[in-house]
Structure 1
Amino acid sequence: MKERLSLLAVVLMVFTSCQKKHEAIIITPEEYHKSVDKVIEVMIHDIFSPPVASRIFAYPNIAAYEIIAQKDDRYKSLAGQIHDLTPIPEPKTRDSINFEVAALVAHMQLDKNLIFSEDRIVSYRDSLYAVWADKNEPVFNASKAYGLEVAEHIAAWMNKDNYKQTRTMPKFSVNSEDPSRWQPTPPAYMNGLEPHWSKIRPFAIDSADQFKPAPPPDFSMEEGSKFYEEVMEVYEVRKSMIGKGDKSDEIAIAQFWDCNPYVSVTRGHLMFATKKITPGAHWIGITKIAARKSDADFAKTVYAYTKTSIAIADGFISCWDEKYRSNLIRPETVINEYIDDSWEPVLQTPPFPEYTSGHSVVSGAAAIALTDIFGDNFAFDDDTEVAYGLPVRSFSSFNQASDEAALSRMYGGIHYRAAIEVGIKQGRSLGKYIVDKLDMTKG
């Protein structure tokens, strides 16, 4: 009798073990949010420039989206819609693949390929792999294999976008004889970042100069000239804040939208960088907020990140094309040279030319994409900067947030009005073009 009971116990243990190995692997939108958060964490650690960071967002999201579009009839492939992207391989056996797992595998694989600190992604990835394999090893293995196959396909396309070639192109040459041209700014006096970014293959726009803006006001420090008026506006806005103290709303807005990953801090003979998110990462954070608030499912979450990251990436290509064309001097340099040598901006001046404002262009483009996905008048509380010691700010719409992001650059003392107003227009025109061009949803 005891032998029979022991045999029955063994059979039950084997049966239970087999049952455990064949549980359904349930993937929620939160797991995708966490994957995006992880790569942002690594990007902050590795310190990528805003344009390069936008590229890191775009490709992994596109890979995940293409996999989801294979499964979900609500979404259409981007193949043939964005430059040079061909259809991803179709799965050999659909029944054995969890497409959400495959999407995350592809996302993390490309994340790993695009950042420096690969070990941080690998550690996170392997922890998820262990959980999924424990639930259902056959499905996990099939899904992983398909995700890696798609990642390889996207990587081959990605590697032809001219990024590697721009790594070997010459540094930006500063023209110190022309008073209108950009000069390196304190405290680090860094070289101009990514002067060849306009040569990167765009995603949806036709070319880097498709949304070429009107040129900035002509450089002139004569009283009454348009340029002089804009310089004095930046100067006076900063002076007005001094009387209000550090608690002014203008300073709060400037700091909230700073998003400068290159802030250098000098203490004695030491100089080090404080680490922050980029403008693109801030809008990716807003995408997460909107997806959560609207209770978006996994597929819509991936779709939202993908469309927004394409708008951000093309926004940087368009903006950087103009920055190094107009090559305009920053307010800090002009004001110190002609008006007040002790004047300092609220924010540290980023190391590249002034016109147009990158945050304005990218915010305008991202806001249009997000409005298309989640609707106009989508109110939200933006807690993206809480991790950096800044309070939540609330907005009635994505466009209102983009207006504030743009204006923050004047409050910060790093942009003139023309760069802000023309920049937001440039970004919104680009965003509308992308929304109208990309046919991503059915019905």
Structure 2
Amino acid sequence: MKKPFTLVSLLLLVWGVVAGCQDKNADYSRAAANPEFVHQSVNKLTDIIMHDIFSPPVASRIYTYPQIAAYEVLLHDYPAYQSLEGQLNGFKGIPQPTPDSVYCFPLASLHAFLTVSRSLIFSSDMFDAYEAQLYKQYREMRVPKDVFNRSLRYGQAAAKSILAYAAEDGYKQTRGYRHTVSQAPGRWVPTPPAYMDAVEPFWSRIRPFVLDSSSQFAPGTAVAFDTDKESDFYKDVLAVYEATSNLTEEQRQIASFWDCNPFVMHTTGHVMYATKKITPGGHWLGIAGIASRKAKADMMQTLETYLRVSVSLADGFISCWDEKYRSDCIRPETAINMLLDEKWVPLLQTPPFPEYPSGHSVISNAAAVVLTDLYGPSFQYIDSTEVAFGLPARAFNSFEEAAEEAAISRLYGGIHFMPAIVNGAMQGKEVGAHVVSRIRTRKEAVAIKE
């Protein structure tokens, strides 16, 4: 015998339908916080930076501001994390969300990232298809329309405040400045094949993110130029010449793996063209992505990783470039052609800026210190960042090991003297340690466990 359909039954049925809809809508919060969206967005930015051929220092700046925007928005979903307001030089935070309003903060975070990124690059249209697909995925998660639109508006407001912060860092004021090539012996001069002007000669004027000044961790004085065969400088020149004359296949692979030179030029007859490569900062952000994926970091931990590494890279370049244009040192290619062998060419193409210190040595060690703080001193991983460029992946037992290899690769490539490598590595470690001590992303510092 069937039971009568009572008012209570009807209410229970309605409650069940409503609850089911709420559960379906609630499901989007888990799907929305997928760290892969962060990885994909960073990778897309790397593709555009490479396409637009930004210099390594400029690329480091482009990476950092979008990370700050994304981090500051997403932390509203993660109470264990804290704002960078008062931690980054001159940073006063972003607008706060409206109280008692519902947001999809992962969506707002990504929108802030993409909006800031678009303003810092040339080819912003390269984001169009990616951004449309990203938002389509969020709509398919059944994010309510009002929440969706409110989240985009908040991401836009956050991006606007970050771009205002970026506008005060001195970047625009240094555009168009050129380096005057010195005629003094031992100073940097443009190198073949393109004989390009020096890159970013006034980068030390850019506001650092956490350094007290661009010269805070200046390395020791460069070895003085001296053509005497008994001098330290001549011995350094000879060391590069001999090392590059007896490279093993492994050393050649190491040099190529860490090349990361977006300025490589090729000459065929009267035609000159460039090969587009990832910047050294882009390589280390690739490592940051590999590490966070391996550690199964959530969306906030992933952003935290990219953010802290980005800051270390940006301040590392500011610190390094400060000394480069103070020392204004000659490159091995010029010195060897002058003193030992006029036909000698390095394995890697010489980048267009002064020699001392080694930029790879500085920024690699800065990033390695930050990554070690996050993931520990014995984090093993396989670096596949360069596979897309036809190079095999390399395995490392720690970030420090990778940084050491990146540094020595510049000797194998024939583009740095040993003092620039050794002193640059020390400088980078100091920068990295300063970033670790200054930036507190978590209210209680806890390392991400593998």
TM-score (ref. length: structure 2): 0.91
Map 1:347-386; keep pairs closer than 5 Å.
347-386=348-387
SS in structure 2 of the partner of residue 219 of structure 1: coil
Separation in structure 1 between the aligned mates of residue 440 and residue 138 of structure 2, nearest angstrom:
33
Matched, 1:138 2:146: yes
Separation in structure 2 between the aligned mates of residue 352 and residue 49 of structure 1, nearest angstrom:
11
Kept after mapping to 2: 8 A contact 1:372/1:435: yes
Aligned position for 1:298: 299
Separation in structure 2 between the aligned mates of residue 361 and residue 339 of structure 1, nearest angstrom:
29
Letter in 2 for 1:235: Y
Aligned residue-pair number? 424
Separation in structure 2 between the aligned mates of residue 112 and residue 406 of structure 1, nearest angstrom:
32
Letter in 1 for 2:434: Y
Query: CA separation of 1:334/1:432 partners in 2, compared to 1, >3 Å: closer, same or farther?
Result: same
Letter in 1 for 2:178: K
136-145 or 89-98, which deviates more: 89-98
Aligned position for 2:400: 399
Separation in structure 2 between the aligned mates of residue 281 and residue 93 of structure 1, nearest angstrom:
37
> Residues 10-67 of structure 1: CA distance to partner in whole angstroms, max 9, x if unpaired?
xxxxx9xx88888625221111100000000111111000000000110000111111
Letter in 2 for 1:30: E
Separation in structure 2 between the aligned mates of residue 250 and residue 224 of structure 1, nearest angstrom:
28
Please report how far the alpha carbon of residue 87 of structure 1 lies from its aligned counterpart in structure 2 after TM superposition. 2.0
Separation in structure 1 between the aligned mates of residue 344 and residue 231 of structure 2, nearest angstrom:
21
Map 1:251-330; keep pairs closer than 5 Å.
251-330=252-331
SS in structure 1 of the partner of residue 272 of structure 2: strand
Letter in 1 for 2:443: K
Query: CA separation of 1:94/1:232 partners in 2, compared to 1, >3 Å: closer, same or farther?
Result: farther
Query: CA separation of 1:94/1:157 partners in 2, compared to 1, >3 Å: closer, same or farther?
Result: farther
What residue ranges of structure 2 are gaps of 5+ in the alignment? Answer: 1-17, 445-450
Kept after mapping to 2: 8 A contact 1:166/1:197: yes
Matched, 1:156 2:164: yes
Separation in structure 1 between the aligned mates of residue 208 and residue 374 of structure 2, nearest angstrom:
21
Please report how far the alpha carbon of residue 251 of structure 1 lies from its aligned counterpart in structure 2 after TM superposition. 0.5
Separation in structure 1 between the aligned mates of residue 120 and residue 274 of structure 2, nearest angstrom:
22
Please report how far the alpha carbon of residue 334 of structure 1 lies from its aligned counterpart in structure 2 after TM superposition. 0.6
Separation in structure 1 between the aligned mates of residue 328 and residue 75 of structure 2, nearest angstrom:
42
Letter in 2 for 1:171: R
Aligned position for 1:4: none
Separation in structure 2 between the aligned mates of residue 365 and residue 442 of structure 1, nearest angstrom:
23
Aligned position for 2:15: none
Letter in 1 for 2:119: N
Map 1:39-438; keep pairs closer than 5 Å.
39-93=45-99, 95-134=101-140, 135-136=142-143, 137-168=145-176, 170-176=177-183, 178-241=184-247, 244=248, 248-438=249-439
Superposition RMSD in Å: 1.9
Letter in 2 for 1:290: A
Separation in structure 2 between the aligned mates of residue 279 and residue 80 of structure 1, nearest angstrom:
29
Separation in structure 2 between the aligned mates of residue 390 and residue 44 of structure 1, nearest angstrom:
17
Please report how far the alpha carbon of residue 439 of structure 1 lies from its aligned counterpart in structure 2 after TM superposition. 1.8
Aligned position for 1:9: none
Separation in structure 2 between the aligned mates of residue 224 and residue 403 of structure 1, nearest angstrom:
29
68-77 or 81-90, which deviates more: 68-77
Separation in structure 1 between the aligned mates of residue 196 and residue 335 of structure 2, nearest angstrom:
17
> Residues 175-209 of structure 1: CA distance to partner in whole angstroms, max 9, x if unpaired?
12x12100000000000000000000000010000
Separation in structure 2 between the aligned mates of residue 119 and residue 360 of structure 1, nearest angstrom:
34
Please report how far the alpha carbon of residue 433 of structure 1 lies from its aligned counterpart in structure 2 after TM superposition. 1.1
Separation in structure 1 between the aligned mates of residue 429 and residue 128 of structure 2, nearest angstrom:
37
Query: CA separation of 1:297/1:185 partners in 2, compared to 1, >3 Å: closer, same or farther?
Result: same
84-93 or 339-348, which deviates more: 84-93
Kept after mapping to 2: 8 A contact 1:60/1:106: yes
SS in structure 2 of the partner of residue 310 of structure 1: helix
Kept after mapping to 2: 8 A contact 1:376/1:398: yes
> Residues 218-261 of structure 1: CA distance to partner in whole angstroms, max 9, x if unpaired?
111211211111110000011112xx5xxx11110000000000
Kept after mapping to 2: 8 A contact 1:112/1:122: no
Aligned position for 2:28: 24
Kept after mapping to 2: 8 A contact 1:50/1:278: yes
Kept after mapping to 2: 8 A contact 1:220/1:228: yes
Letter in 2 for 1:127: Q
SS in structure 1 of the partner of residue 361 of structure 2: helix
Separation in structure 1 between the aligned mates of residue 361 and residue 331 of structure 2, nearest angstrom:
16
Please report how far the alpha carbon of residue 73 of structure 1 lies from its aligned counterpart in structure 2 after TM superposition. 1.6
